[in-house]
Chains A and B, each alone.
Chain A
Amino acid sequence: MELIANLELGLETALTLGNLFYCLVGVFLGTAIGVLPGLGPTATIAMLLPLTFTLPPVSSLIMLAGIYYGSQYGGSTTSILVNLPGEAASVVTTIDGYQMAKQGRAGAALATSAIGSFFAGTVATFLIAAFGPPLAAVALEFGPADYFSLMVLGLVASVVLAQGSLLHAIGMVVLGLVLGLVGSDVTSGAQRYTFEIPELADGINFVTVAMGMFGLGEIIRNLESEPQRSVIITKITNLMPTKEDFRRMIAPILRGTLIGSALGILPGSGSILGSFAAYSIEKKVSKNRDQFGKGAIEGVAAPESANNAGAQTSFIPMLTLGIPSNPVMALMVGAMIIQGIQPGPSVITEQPALFWGIIVSMWIGNLFLVILNLPLIGIWVRLIMVPYQLLYPAIIVFTAIGVFSLNNREFDIYLMAIFGVFGYVFAKLGCESAPMLLAFILGPLMEEYLRRAMLISRGNPWVFVQRPISVTLLALAVLAMLAVSLPSFSKTRSEAFKE
């Protein structure tokens, strides 16, 4: 069995003492930052990214992946204990999780979340292992035109899945593409939009953008109305769910894993859409639907499994095609490039130890999450209770030093401040930042593939509809666009996000 041989290779890589250590550190730090209210995975990873620069490539990616699901799990903890989601994907967990906590069942809710996440993580890891190589093989057939169309589809999907106005989602995507132009033109070497500032010659670093928009922008937004948090401080005595709990969580975990895995592959969504969908489906099919909103364990189990499954499967397009499907994966791509690895379908064949090592370490990381988080819950509660007025200056300090350490220059600190203003202004105008960041990353790639496609086709723009892969992808993009513009769909879309 090739799969088993591959997983063995992955185990060999992931089970070295060093990599185990970095996985553990990543999971721990990710959870520690992730439990802090208002800090989602994107900001967490951007903040902790500089810590991984000096590591060898495999270790650094293992640690980053650990940070990612650690921060997701941390966000869930916060949702359950404080009714304040640490990140968008755990918004729905607050509904029933917090009710459970109020009824003195915080321990059971946390354990359910951990068990569901672990199960989902395990399944999703196998899915990546099973579907990664064949997908990468398909991707090797992709020509420049196909890649271009794939990215168009990715951006369209991120527009369709964005919250708020469709027009502004498109606007933000194009704005992101424009910002991605800054720097040297790859083909001609010409300096574009650099305003003769030498620091801009290599373009704007995406970490700077992410930290500005998701870090500073978010802080300023929170300062509008400072939340008064009430943490459930009742001693979390009983972590073990009852037998009845176990019985009730099985089906939701299975359904949540399935939904989350499928939706996680979609560009633009990652884990957010999965957790929303899993919750609303559970609400419809569950026998205990009258208990939803009042502390139903199903309402924790389903979205938490979906959330983690989606977080894992969103690695699939990144690892096999080299195309990030959400800002978190964009940060991963950035990290790979910093490490000198060009993400794409060839990674599997050229660096099998890296590819399989990451996959196996995902599973190990999920195991760490279960082992770590339940005993350490006391620490997380303390972290959550840090008042916001002391928390955000610390975040600003870490982002400022982190962004400086990218290139060891003050310029990036100034640039981050500018993007902080951007982030706040656009948030006020109801324009979402996530599609912009994704477009910002994809922009240079898109231009590159567009040029190559046109060169190969001798300037014939019909190449995009003449190649079967490309035309399929474009048709999907058009369909998605049409569907979302239909009045009936846009109504359900806004309702889905309201819920």
Chain B
Amino acid sequence: MLMIRSTKDFWAGLIYVFFGSCTVIIARDYDMGIALKMGPAYFPTLLGYLLAFIGLVSVARSFISHGAPIGEIAFKGLLLVIASVLLFGFFVRRLGVAIALPLLVMISASASDHFRWRPTLILAAGLTAFCYFVFLRGLGVPLPIWGSWFGG
């Protein structure tokens, strides 16, 4: 019976196969050209096949040789950190740095097991002031302090 002996190899292999085959399939829309005069599809197609092949080898290997388990996944950290960044991107022009930045700090910081409100609020306030003076005023990063939702 086939058994996955190395989950790392298995999943990494699947990712390679996925990206490799997508690369090849999408490249079909582009001009292939010939070796003498390569079109936009030539190099990507080569790479795509190569990547998919490496992926297949990795998947095959996952059934043969043992590997270390993937280990626990930090779902809380992953979710909160990524969500905080995405929300910052969404809100930064709409609400402005004055609100979006503390929000980013609070959400991302809450991913920690050692999260405490007081020091984190102080950090959020300090970072907002720092970024305002250094990045917005000092380096002229074009971000509003109050966003478009406040008519800023």
By a beta-carbon cutoff of 8 Å, the part of chain A in contact with chain B is 50-51, 54, 165, 167-168, 170-171, 174-175, 177-178, 181, 185, 187-188, 190, 192-193, 216, 219-221, 223-224, 226, 387-390, 392-394, 396-397, 400-401, 404-405, 408, 410-411, 413-414, 416-417, 420-421, 424-426, 428-431, 446-447, 450-451, 454-455, 458-459, 461
Contact = CB atoms under 8 A, between A and B. Distances in A.
A226 B114 contact: yes
Interface string B49-92: 01100110110010000011011111011100110111011101
A51 B120 CA distance: 26
Contact of B35 (A392, A396, A459): A459
A185 B30 CA distance: 11
Interface in B84-108: 84-86, 88-90, 92-93, 101, 104-105, 108
A178 B23 contact: yes
A223 B108 CA distance: 11
Nearest to A399: B85
B19 interface: yes
B81 A396 contact: yes
B123 A220 contact: no
Interface residues of B, number: 73
B8 A430 contact: yes
Contact of B44 (A178, A219, A405): A178
A302 to B, nearest CB: 31
Contact of B85 (A174, A188, A417): A417
Contacts of A224: 71-74, 77
A394 B123 contact: yes
A170 B108 contact: no
Contacts of B142: 408
Contacts of B112: 223, 226, 388-389, 392
A50 B85 contact: no
Given A396-B84, A429-B70, 16 more contacts: A51-B139, A54-B139, A168-B9, A171-B16, A178-B44, A187-B38, A219-B81, A393-B120, A405-B139, A421-B78, A424-B78, A426-B12, A428-B70, A431-B12, A459-B34, A459-B36
Contact of B108 (A185, A393, A425, A461): A393
Contact of B113 (A226, A401, A404): A226
B115 interface: yes
Contacts of A421: 78, 82
Nearest to B116: A389
A70 to B, nearest CB: 18
A450 B34 CA distance: 13
26 contacts: A174-B16, A175-B16, A175-B51, A177-B47, A178-B19, A178-B44, A178-B51, A181-B23, A190-B31, A190-B40, A192-B44, A216-B85, A219-B77, A220-B78, A223-B111, A224-B71, A224-B74, A392-B108, A400-B85, A401-B131, A401-B143, A404-B92, A410-B90, A417-B89, A420-B85, A428-B73
